[in-house]
């Protein structure tokens, strides 16, 4: 499929072109020029977040003088301007075809809102030249981290042997074909029919009528507010996911499974959506880190009711279809919801805005306010018990969640005390009492959003049991791909025979992301366990390898390839792949730990120690590296040297029960049984549902029996 370009589209769709021009998508990438630059390039010197730079103009060229990867100051000509609202970043060229996003960016907000200044987007990190988090580091390489969501028709063009980029794009910004797919054949079809005919339907109409477009957005359907109903219903019900599949890739926290990703396919064919992981989301699904919108929206009642992005956002301008509560009351009856009896605030006040309670904000990059698209119902009772966020105390300083919960209860709040999957995810994350039963409930509850059920299944792998296995077996046939993917992943903790029997049918799942997970879980299955399905596994494994090669500039891809090779018994290939990951990211703890483990399997414990110490020199606060080094030293017979490493791991990651378990056992067996049992007992009290800790306390605290 070939791209036609915006000009060809505009010939038949002038109204859409007019709305698009000047939108955030239109300005996602721009030529570096004085006319397009928002920032002060008048010789301005800036020092913030541990970095220094001078921004100046040399004729029409925009130049930044700042320390590079070697720490020496140099001049860099700005290649592209990146984004526009609420900030504009600069892309500077480095060697090997890389473009890097400078972390000193222009705050484009009005001066009255604190903007109109250069500032560092992550000042607390204080990254040094050579670090992954320095502007010259791998985490800010435009080619692999940013390009495919800020331009159209991007091809990464990465050469893993030379570690170079030859990145190309069809259009500089997010243009028509970024959403509708390559349109050369569609343009030819439209011209053959006559331009006037094509213009009648607009992009959505043309897409529905013309099979030559890869992405087609079905026409028809509306939300109707029936007499007496409080909330509108879509007529007819939406059956397709075309909009979420088109918008999701750039509005989601996800991994890449294809480069380039063919347009028009289900999201999980080409991307791996992050679940409600700790650090990304709070236990109730509210946004914590920068996760964008899709993972949140999939939790919402709106998603289940058939709402899609364009119901609220005009797709070409990107603007809201109405302002303030008027947008919400197109589907939610104003007399019911835009009333003090519902929101408990003075009409028209800040607290009476629907978004104040149902789309709370999190700030990213110091000033970028991101609305939560899960549309949560405020639950201060959950906040009081579980520590999840709630919006009330943000506007009522000096009050706490317990106060807010009582106010909501007294005013007739209907959901206080009601079951919420947050209880299960909190318990599972903390190995709390009753965690397994709560996770089983969440994973099997059809009223829980699929992304939350999938997350519960992932956590349930920490509590393998017959009841969990029954829930997983049902989830393997779930209509939602996220649930099936998580259920297959749970099988990694199952014994080999049932794992092969249950996972093998998923090697033919219609969604590629599920097939890849099945291949990963079955990678070490003996041919006898798979029988006639062995060729299906081999095909799925090749799909898995291709998916990792699609992002060969990411160390995680080589880590995954190494894990696959190790599972297949090819230690030489595993060693090569883990080493490749470390070449890309010398600080990568996971790659170092796994390379050390390969050396251990080869009887090369001294090499394992060397690898781990080299990684620790770059990442001295990585608990996984300290833990692995401690184990390596134990195997080398240097228990006295091992204990400080195990203690360091446990202190750096107090929420990781495994580290406390190993430390307690090492202390006990190393001649300090009293302290070892104390460590185990304290950890078991914090993580009462952790089975190994409970068993160790019981076994080690008992006096020895008769000989």
For 71, phi then psi, to 5°, come to 90, -10
- Structural tokens at position 597: 């483990």
Contact status, residue 579 vs residue 566, Cβ threshold 8 Å: no
**What are the pLDDT digits (tens) for 87-104?**
999 999 999 999 999 999
Q: Is the pLDDT of residue 411 over 90?
A: no
Contact status, residue 100 vs residue 92, Cβ threshold 8 Å: yes
In this prediction, residues 46-59 reach a mean pLDDT of 95
SS3 47: strand
| CA–CA gap between residue 178 and residue 578 (Å, rounded) | 35
For 278, phi then psi, to 5°, come to -60, 135
| CA–CA gap between residue 190 and residue 220 (Å, rounded) | 21
Q: Is the pLDDT of residue 198 over 50?
A: no
Q: Is the pLDDT of residue 239 over 50?
A: yes
The mean of the pLDDT values for the chain is: 93
**What are the pLDDT digits (tens) for 351-365?**
999 999 999 999 999
**What are the pLDDT digits (tens) for 98-125?**
999 999 999 999 999 999 999 999 999 8
| CA–CA gap between residue 363 and residue 690 (Å, rounded) | 35
Q: What is the pLDDT of residue 646?
A: 98
The DSSP element (H or E) to which 538 belongs, if any, is helix 534-549
Indicate the DSSP class of residue 618: H
Secondary structure string (H, E, C) spanning 421-480: HHHHHHHHHHCCCCHHHHHHHHHHCCCCCHHHHHHHHHHHCCCCCHHHHHHHHHHCCCCC
Q: What is the pLDDT of residue 195?
A: 57
Kindly report the pTM of this predicted structure.
0.94
**What are the pLDDT digits (tens) for 560-609?**
999 999 999 999 999 999 999 999 999 999 999 999 999 999 999 999 99
> Measured on CA atoms in the order 68, 74, 77, 82, is the torsion positive or negative?
positive
**What are the pLDDT digits (tens) for 4-22?**
999 999 999 999 999 999 9
Contact status, residue 195 vs residue 126, Cβ threshold 8 Å: no
**Helix and strand totals (H; E) in the chain:** 37, 18
Non-local (6+) Cβ contacts of 416 within 8 A are 379, 381, 405, 408, 409
Which of 106, 141, 120 shows the shortest CA–CA distance to 36? Answer: 106
| CA–CA gap between residue 252 and residue 281 (Å, rounded) | 13
């Amino acid at each position: 499929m070939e791209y036609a370009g915006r000009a060809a589209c505009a010939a038949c769709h002038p109204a859409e072109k007019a709305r698009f021009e000047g939108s955030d998508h239109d300005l996602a990438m721009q030529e570096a020029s004085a006319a397009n630059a928002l920032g002060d390039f008048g010789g301005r010197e800036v020092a913030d977040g541990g970095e220094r730079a001078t921004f100046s103009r040399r004729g029409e060229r925009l130049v930044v003088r700042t320390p590079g990867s070697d720490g020496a100051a140099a001049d860099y000509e700005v290649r592209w301007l990146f984004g526009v609202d609420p900030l504009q970043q600069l892309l500077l060229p480095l060697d090997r075809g890389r473009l890097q996003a400078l972390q000193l960016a222009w705050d484009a907000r009005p001066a009255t809102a604190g903007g109109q200044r250069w500032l560092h987007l992550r000042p607390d990190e204080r990254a040094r030249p050579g670090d992954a988090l320095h502007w010259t580091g791998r985490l800010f390489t435009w080619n692999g981290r940013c390009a495919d969501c800020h331009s159209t028709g991007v091809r990464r063009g990465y050469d893993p042997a030379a570690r170079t980029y030859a990145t190309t794009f069809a259009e500089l910004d997010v243009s028509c074909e970024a959403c509708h797919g390559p349109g050369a054949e569609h343009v030819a079809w439209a011209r053959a029919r006559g331009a006037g005919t094509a213009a009648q339907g607009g992009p959505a109409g043309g897409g529905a009528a013309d099979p030559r477009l890869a992405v087609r957005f079905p026409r028809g359907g509306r939300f109707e507010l029936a007499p007496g109903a409080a909330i509108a219903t879509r007529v007819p019900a939406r059956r397709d996911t075309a909009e979420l599949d088109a918008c999701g890739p750039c509005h989601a926290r996800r991994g890449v499974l294809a480069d380039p990703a063919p347009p028009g396919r289900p999201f999980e064919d080409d991307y791996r959506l992050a679940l409600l992981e700790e650090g990304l989301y709070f236990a109730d699904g509210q946004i914590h880190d920068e996760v964008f919108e899709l993972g949140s929206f999939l939790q919402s009642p709106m998603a289940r009711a058939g709402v899609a992005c364009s119901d609220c956002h005009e797709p070409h301008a990107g603007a809201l279809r109405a302002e303030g509560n008027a947008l919400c009351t197109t589907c939610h009856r104003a007399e019911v919801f835009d009333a003090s009896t519902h929101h408990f605030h003075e009409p028209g006040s800040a607290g009476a805005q629907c978004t104040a309670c149902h789309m709370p904000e999190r700030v990213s990059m110091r000033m970028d306010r991101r609305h939560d698209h899960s549309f949560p119902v405020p639950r201060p009772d959950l906040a009081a018990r579980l520590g999840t966020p709630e919006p009330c105390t943000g506007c009522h300083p000096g009050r706490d969640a317990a106060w807010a919960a009582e106010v909501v209860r007294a005013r007739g709040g209907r959901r206080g005390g009601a079951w919420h999957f947050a209880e299960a995810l909190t318990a599972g994350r903390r190995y709390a009492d009753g965690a397994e039963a709560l996770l089983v409930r969440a994973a099997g509850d059809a009223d829980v959003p699929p992304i939350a059920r999938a997350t519960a299944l992932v956590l349930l792998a920490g509590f393998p049991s017959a009841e969990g296995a029954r829930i997983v077996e049902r989830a393997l046939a779930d209509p939602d791909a996220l649930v099936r993917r998580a259920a297959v992943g749970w099988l990694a903790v199952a014994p080999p025979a049932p794992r092969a029997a249950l996972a093998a049918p998923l090697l033919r799942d219609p969604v590629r992301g599920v097939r890849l997970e099945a291949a990963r879980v079955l990678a070490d299955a003996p041919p006898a366990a798979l029988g006639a399905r062995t060729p299906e596994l081999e095909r799925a494994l090749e799909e898995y390898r291709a998916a990792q090669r699609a992002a060969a500039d990411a160390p995680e891809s080589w880590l995954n390839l190494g894990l696959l090779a190790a599972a297949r018994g090819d230690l030489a290939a595993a060693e090569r792949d883990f080493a490749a990951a470390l070449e890309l990211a010398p600080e990568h703890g996971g790659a170092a730990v796994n390379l050390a483990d390969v050396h251990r399997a080869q009887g090369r414990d001294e090499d394992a120690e060397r690898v781990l110490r080299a990684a620790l020199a770059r990442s001295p606060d990585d608990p996984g590296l300290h833990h692995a080094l401690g184990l390596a030293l134990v195997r080398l017979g240097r228990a006295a040297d091992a204990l400080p490493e195990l203690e360091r791991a446990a202190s750096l990651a107090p929420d990781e029960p495994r580290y406390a378990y190993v430390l307690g056992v090492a202390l006990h067996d190393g001649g300090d049984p009293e302290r070892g049992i104390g460590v185990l007992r304290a950890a078991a009290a914090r993580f009462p549902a952790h089975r190994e800790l409970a068993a160790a306390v019981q076994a080690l605290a008992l006096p020895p029996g008769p000989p």
